[in-house]
A = this chain, B = another copy of it.
Amino acid sequence: MTQRCIDLGEREVVKRITEILGILQRDDCTTAEDGERCLVWTTDMLHRKADFPGIASPWQIGWMTIAVNLSDVAAMGAVPLGLLVAAGIPPETELSFVEEMFTGMRDCAHRFGTKILGGDLDSHDELTLTGTALGWVEKTHVLRRHGARPGDFLCTTGTMGSAGAGLRVALVAEGKERGRIEEDPNLLALTKRLLEPAPRIKEGRALALSKSVTSMMDNSDGLALSLYDLADASSVGFLVEEDLIPVDPLVAEVAKDKEDAIDLALAAGGDFELVFTVRPDLIERARLACEFTVIGTVLEEKKIWIKSEKGKKTLEARGYEHMLGFSDQEPSA
C-alpha cells in the first residue's frame, strides 16, 4: 500500500527527510562554522492560503515574510547579515500590491537593522514567498535548543496569546465584520500582533551576550510545542506555573474565559517571542539584558507539568503544526 504524506503527518515526513539528508541538529537556524563565528541561516515558505488571512494588507504580508525569518535568527542570539526573498506571484497581481508588499519587507528588515540583499521573482498560481535570513554569532555565544539544566529558570520575553486572538478576529472578519475591526482599536491591535510580529532580535542578542542563558528558541508554533522541543533537545522537563504565563491583556477581548485565554497563549502560535532557560545564579545578569518573565523551572524528570490553582497536570503538546522546519528548524516556523 502506498503511503501519502497526509497519512503520515508532517512530523513523520520531516523525520524521513532528515534521515535522508543526514541532519541531526534541531535549532531555529542551521549553523556553519566560520572561524571564530557561527553563520546562522534559516528559510521559511509562506503562502496565501496557509499564512496570509484575507485582512492582511500587502505591506503586512511583506512584513510577516521577513519577521518570521528574523525571529529564527533572534533565537540563536545572532546578528542578522541580510535576507533573500524568492517570490512566486500570480501574473494578474496589481503592481501596487507587489510594491506595497516589498515595501513591507524592506521596512521590517530596516526596523531590525538589516536589509534584503536579493532574490528571485517567479510567476505562480498562489502567492508564495520564501524568505531566507543569514546572520552571525560568536561561537562562544551561540544559543541553541539544548543546554537547559535542572534548576534553571524557564523564561519568556513579551506577552502571549495575542497573535492567536488576532487570528480569531481575522477569521471573523473574513465574513462581514471587517468594519468592526477598523473601528475598535483593541481588535485592530490584536490583528497587528498577528500580522506585524516583532522578532526579538535585540533581546536575543542581549541575552546571548549576557552569557546567562542555557537554551533558547522562539515560540512561533505556540508556547506548548516550544516547551516540548526545548525539553526534548535538552533531555529535561519543565514545571510551568500557569499564573505566571504573561497572557496579553488584550486577549480578554476575544477569549471566552481565562482557560481559553491560557489556551491561546499555549497553543495558537504566531507570537514570535523567545522562550529560554537561565542559570539561577545569573538571573540578575539576564535581567540587565532585557525584560522577561520567569514562568517556571527546569526539571530533571522528562515531563512537562503545568500548575494552577486547580492542581498540577501534564501540559498538552498542542500547537500550530501547519509548517514544520526540518533539521535545525524543527518544528518552529
Given known pairs A5-B91, A30-B82, A103-B20, the reply for A122 and B47 (CB within 8 Å) is: yes
The answer to whether B21 and A123 have CB atoms under 8 Å apart is no
The interface stretch among A9-17, A207-215, A264-272, A299-307 is A9-17
What is the minimal beta-carbon distance from A48 to any residue of chain B, in angstroms?
10
Q: Is A164 an interface residue (CB 8 A)?
A: no
Taking a contact as CB atoms under 8 Å apart, the answer to whether A4 and B42 are in contact is no
Given the known inter-chain contacts A98-B16, A118-B30, A119-B329, please indicate yes or no for A88 contacting B47, CB distance below 8 A. yes
Contact indicator per residue, chain A 72-97, by CB within 8 Å of chain B (1) or not (0): 00000000011011111111111110
A44 within 8 A of B: yes
Instruction: Assess whether A130 is interfacial by the CB under 8 Å rule.
Output: yes
Query: Is there an interface contact between A134 and B329, defined as CB atoms closer than 8 Å?
Result: no
A22 to B107 Cα, complex, angstroms: 12
Q: Is A288 an interface residue (CB 8 A)?
A: no
Chain B residue numbers with a CB within 8 Å of A323 are: 120-122
Among candidates B20, B96, B102, residue contacting A21 with C-beta atoms closer than 8 Å: B102
Residues in A118-135 with C-beta less than 8 Å from chain B: 118-126, 128, 130, 132, 134
Is B106 a contact partner of A20 (Cβ separation < 8 A)? yes
Tell me if B16 and A84 are in contact (CB < 8 A). no
- Across the interface, which residues of B come within 8 angstroms of A47, CB to CB? 88, 122, 124, 128
Question: How far is A96 from B4 in the complex, measured between Cα atoms in Å?
Answer: 8
User: A134: which B residues are within 8 A, CB to CB?
Assistant: 32, 39, 41, 134
Instruction: Indicate if the CB atoms of A121 and B89 lie closer than 8 Å.
Output: no
Instruction: Note all chain B residues with C-beta closer than 8 A to A90.
Output: 5
A329 to B118, CA, bound (A): 7
Q: Cα distance A29–B98 when bound, in Å?
A: 23
* Copies, count: 2
* Contact flags A29-50 to B (C-beta < 8 A → 1, else 0): 1101011000101111101011
- Interface size of A as a range: 35 or more
Q: In whole Å, how far is A101's beta carbon from the nearest beta carbon of chain B?
A: 9
Say whether B92 contacts A6, CB under 8 Å.
yes
Q: Are B45 and A86 in contact (CB under 8 A)?
A: yes
Considering the complex, give the chain B residue whose CB is closest to the CB of A331. B121
Residues from chain B with a CB closer than 8 A to the CB of A91 are 4-6
Residue A117 at the B interface, CB < 8 A?
Answer: yes
Tell me the bound Cα distance from A172 to B138 in angstroms: 54
A92's partner among B4, B102, B118 (CB-CB below 8 A) is B4
**Cα–Cα distance between A30 and B16 once the two chains are bound (Å):** 32
14 more contacts with CB within 8 A, not counting A20-B102, A35-B35, A120-B326, are: A4-B95, A6-B91, A22-B115, A32-B134, A43-B86, A43-B119, A44-B86, A45-B120, A45-B128, A118-B326, A120-B130, A122-B322, A124-B128, A126-B126
Question: Top 4 A-B pairs ranked by shortest CB distance?
Answer: A118-B327, A130-B130, A6-B91, A30-B118
A-B contact pairs, 15 of them (CB 8 A): A4-B94, A5-B92, A13-B95, A13-B121, A16-B98, A17-B102, A21-B105, A41-B118, A45-B86, A45-B130, A47-B122, A47-B128, A50-B124, A120-B333, A121-B323
